[in-house]
Amino acid sequence: MPIKQWLSIVLLFLFLQGLSNAQKVEDPDPQRFQQEIDAFAQWDAKNSFPREAILFVGSSSIRFWKSHKAFPDYPVINRGFGGAHISDVQYFYEQVIGKYDPSVIVFYAGDNDIAAGKPVEQVVGDYKELTDRIVQQFSDLKLIYVPIKPSSSRWQFWPEMEQANRQIKTYSKQNSHLYYVDLATPVLNSEGKPNDALFRDDHLHLNEQGYAIWNRLLRPELEKLYDQ
């Protein structure tokens, strides 16, 4: 290859790499959740937690999920903290995932990431980094990704959210530990927009009706995966 052509390729690569890096959005300070993480630790110090549990982890859609009540037949741990990005879950990995030795993880995050301006590539990259770490630590674990839900309050971000969901769905098909359960489409109405009847007054978080749909659709998936 002529030297000029080789240099052109190198310069193009460096340019594209720099462009990609420039698009990244800085992660928010994870220390804003230290009080909530400390509360988890205090609870664990006073109470035993089940091994090989179903671990619900992620942002406020996990925190508001009455997972113990919804799935009373299973050992459930809920470690959702509202406003979390995927990067926050990664930062507090040992406190909210690593210590629990789960059998199944139900994961929801990315909603706040996109709303904060993080590009799809960054969100998907963060998810891949987190799941790689989980799979390396827990060789028999199954992880269910709950896709970013459409909501009226963040409807302007839905194209990016949907793109992130599609990429993660494709990625999940390449790894036997990862599963994608579509809980996003069922909260759309017949016009393809968020069904506000399934959301709280903030038009962002699900109400009991919304969670009832999630519970109904998730239960058969847990029944298949938990005893594998």
> CA–CA separation, 192 vs 214, rounded Å?
18
Q: What is the pLDDT of residue 227?
A: 74
- Assigned domain for 43 exists: yes
- Assigned domain for 7 exists: no
- Assigned domain for 205 exists: yes
- Assigned domain for 8 exists: no
Handedness of CA 157, 160, 162, 164 (dihedral sign): negative
- Assigned domain for 201 exists: yes
> CA–CA separation, 228 vs 20, rounded Å?
40
> CA–CA separation, 82 vs 67, rounded Å?
15
**How many other C-beta atoms can be found within 10 angstroms of the C-beta atom of residue 200?**
15
Say whether pLDDT at 135 is over 90: yes
Q: What is the pLDDT of residue 23?
A: 85
Q: What is the pLDDT of residues 175-185, one digit of tens each?
A: 999 999 999 99
Q: What is the pLDDT of residue 121?
A: 98
**Closest among 56, 80, 51, 50 to 70, alpha carbons compared:** 56
**How many other C-beta atoms can be found within 10 angstroms of the C-beta atom of residue 106?**
30
Total domains, the chain: 1
Mean pLDDT of the chain: 92
Place of tokens 């990259």: 125
pTM of the complete model? 0.89
- Assigned domain for 198 exists: yes
> CA–CA separation, 180 vs 178, rounded Å?
7
- Give the domain CATH number at 167: 3.40.50.1110
Q: What is the pLDDT of residue 9?
A: 54
- Assigned domain for 88 exists: yes
Range of the domain at 151: 31-226
- Assigned domain for 66 exists: yes
**Closest among 128, 216, 223, 220 to 177, alpha carbons compared:** 128
| Residue 155: band (very low, low, confident or very high) from pLDDT cuts 50, 70, 90 | very high
